[in-house]
A and B are shown apart, each in its own frame.
Chain A
Amino acid sequence: MSEDLYWTLIDIANGLLSGAMLGGYYAIISLGLALVFGVMRLVNLAHGDWLIVAAYIAAVVVQFLGFPPFVSLIVVVPAMFVIGYALQRYLLNRVSVQAMEEKGMSSNFGLMSPILVTFGMSIVIAHALLGIFASDATGIKNALSYSAIRLTQDLSISTLRLIFFGIAGAILVSVHLFLHRSHAGRAIRAASDDPEVASLMGMRTERIYALASAISLAVAGVAGVAVGMSRTFQPFDGPQFLLIAFGVVIVGGLGSIAGSLVGGVLLGITQVLAGTYFGPSAQLVAGYMLILFVLAVRPQGLFSR
């Protein structure tokens, strides 16, 4: 094999591998957004900000309790679960499509009002974080954040990203099993199909929605820890993760859980390969071009049902 061909192949292999691994990270970031959209047709514009909240909770736990970053999950995930449940039950359910219809208003209000509410929430969260933590960059990196696994002499992958990929896969499988095999999961699927009929069948949709929202933010909690271990973060960083999540969800298919991983991997590979061949500045552009391409060719996303 000629030297040139070897390096070409190594470049491609590296792009595919690290792009795919980046996809796991993206999937964790997006899964919660995909879930609440799939179940409630609710677009949570504060998704990224909640993720940053989770990252800050993790930072506090790591700093004051001295936990290693990964162990902070045992605090972060339950905390985010509770926040998600309460948020849906006591705030978002009041502005949902059903709530608006019950008040005799157009269901368009029901689609619009959660967008406005979560947009406002996004601003409030960012400023609250600024008030509490100031704008200094925070992080919870440890040695793991810098370690890599060497596959061949010229091919290696980031240990952290590999772990995230495994976690993304595990979350996907558990959420899928939960939705299909468990009592509560079946209720979530039923309510997502037809909330009115679900209530006729004796289901309390407002609680079911709260549970879905709780799971969504619990996963965002994992994402927050993943972000904190990968890079530094600041109070106003939320929207960029929302943007990543939107991209992944558009590529993978709105509301599709499996689509999050596929969408994440495709976006990751596109960005890394573009970065390899056209320089770092091409990464974002390539990502958006992929999103644009999918919107043009298959607007419902690759995995939409």
Chain B
Amino acid sequence: MTEILAVSELRKSFGALRVADRISFVVRQGEILGIIGPNGAGKTTLFGLLAGNIRADSGRIEFDGADVTHLPAHDRARAGLARTYQIPRPFTHMTVFDNLLVAARFGGDMDEAEAESWVERVIGAMGLRAERNTLAGRLPLLMRKRHELARALATRPKLVLVDEVAAGLTDAEVEQFIALIRGIRDSGITVVWIEHVMKTMLTATDRLIALDAGQLLVSGPPQEVINASEVRRVYLGA
């Protein structure tokens, strides 16, 4: 299997706080890779480093065969790297359709006609048809989360970084999201998924990596990672 993302020796500190300490891992084309770790482990920071919101102090990020370490966020988006936030951040004063449209036109580099038909497809696939013309700021939480994911998909990414969706949702809603994300993977998009809920990660991912205090603890098949002694120690203190 080819690697779509290769991270090596990535480092980042905010003052004395080390948020990424020589992190290395790869993401394989077409997989769902889960990232787990306790609060403050550096999961979201890692997404920031990958998407380009935060610049690494040192290390290398290779995406789709090209070195993107020094590319700004907008160029990484155009290259096919998309990201969502745990707390959805829609363009609140724009409609769902317009939110996705700017994503498709800029991030996806499509012309107006292509972008419009693509956005209609994404809206349909993500179950947002009824909310198409609603201002994104007025969406309820569940729809906001769907919208967040839909807008990332509107850029027609090769890889999407999904930051925690399960928090605040019922079990049934989480199941829906697992199905959605599997569907995204089946359409050929690689997924890297941060989640706090272990059960979700265990059933939904192909592979897991565990982080703690900015360091990568273990990586491997989900069951193995969750049973690993290092992971049990940071999660359970045992």
B-binding residues in A (CB < 8 A) = 102, 183, 186-187, 189-190, 193-194, 196-205, 305
User: A197-B85, A199-B73, A202-B108 known; 12 other A-B pairs, CB under 8 Å?
Assistant: A186-B98, A186-B101, A187-B102, A189-B93, A190-B91, A190-B102, A194-B91, A199-B77, A200-B77, A200-B82, A202-B74, A305-B93
In the complex, what residues of B have CB within 8 A of residue A194's CB?
A: 89, 91
8 smallest beta-carbon distances between A and B, as pairs: A202-B107, A202-B106, A202-B77, A193-B91, A199-B73, A201-B103, A201-B107, A203-B106
5 pairs from A and B in contact (CB 8 Å cutoff): A193-B94, A197-B91, A200-B51, A200-B53, A200-B77
Assess the B103–A202 pair: CB atoms within 8 A. Answer: yes
Q: How many residues of B contact A (CB 8 A)?
A: 30
In the complex, what residues of B have CB within 8 A of residue A189's CB?
A: 91, 93-94, 98
Assess the A186–B93 pair: CB atoms within 8 A. Answer: no
Q: Which residue of B lies closest to A305 (CB)?
A: B93
B144 at the interface (CB under 8 A from A): no
Q: Is the interface of A mostly helix, strand, loop or mixed?
A: helix
Q: Which of A194, A199, A204 has the most chain B CB atoms inside 10 A of its CB?
A: A199
Q: How far is the CA of A198 from the CA of B51 in the complex (A)?
A: 12
Q: Which residue of A lies closest to B98 (CB)?
A: A186
Assess the A201–B93 pair: CB atoms within 8 A. Answer: no
Q: Which residue of B lies closest to A187 (CB)?
A: B102
In the complex, what residues of A have CB within 8 A of residue B108's CB?
A: 202
B40 at the interface (CB under 8 A from A): no
Assess the B53–A196 pair: CB atoms within 8 A. Answer: yes
The one of A187, A193, A196, A305 that contacts B106, using a Cβ cutoff of 8 Å: A187
Q: How far is the CA of A45 from the CA of B112 in the complex (A)?
A: 37
A183-B112, A196-B53 known; A202 vs B78 contact (CB < 8 Å)? yes
Q: How far is the CA of A196 from the CA of B83 in the complex (A)?
A: 11
Assess the A201–B77 pair: CB atoms within 8 A. Answer: yes
In the complex, what residues of B have CB within 8 A of residue A202's CB?
A: 74, 77-78, 103, 106-109, 155
In the complex, what residues of A have CB within 8 A of residue B73's CB?
A: 196, 199-200
A200-B53, A200-B73 known; A183 vs B83 contact (CB < 8 Å)? no
Q: How far is the CA of A190 from the CA of B103 in the complex (A)?
A: 10
B151 at the interface (CB under 8 A from A): yes
Q: How far is the CA of A305 from the CA of B91 in the complex (A)?
A: 14
Assess the A190–B107 pair: CB atoms within 8 A. Answer: no
Q: How far is the CA of A189 from the CA of B83 in the complex (A)?
A: 20
Q: How far is the CA of A197 from the CA of B91 in the complex (A)?
A: 8
In the complex, what residues of B have CB within 8 A of residue A203's CB?
A: 74, 102, 106-107
Q: In the complex, what's the smallest C-beta–C-beta distance from A90 to chain B, in angstroms? A: 17
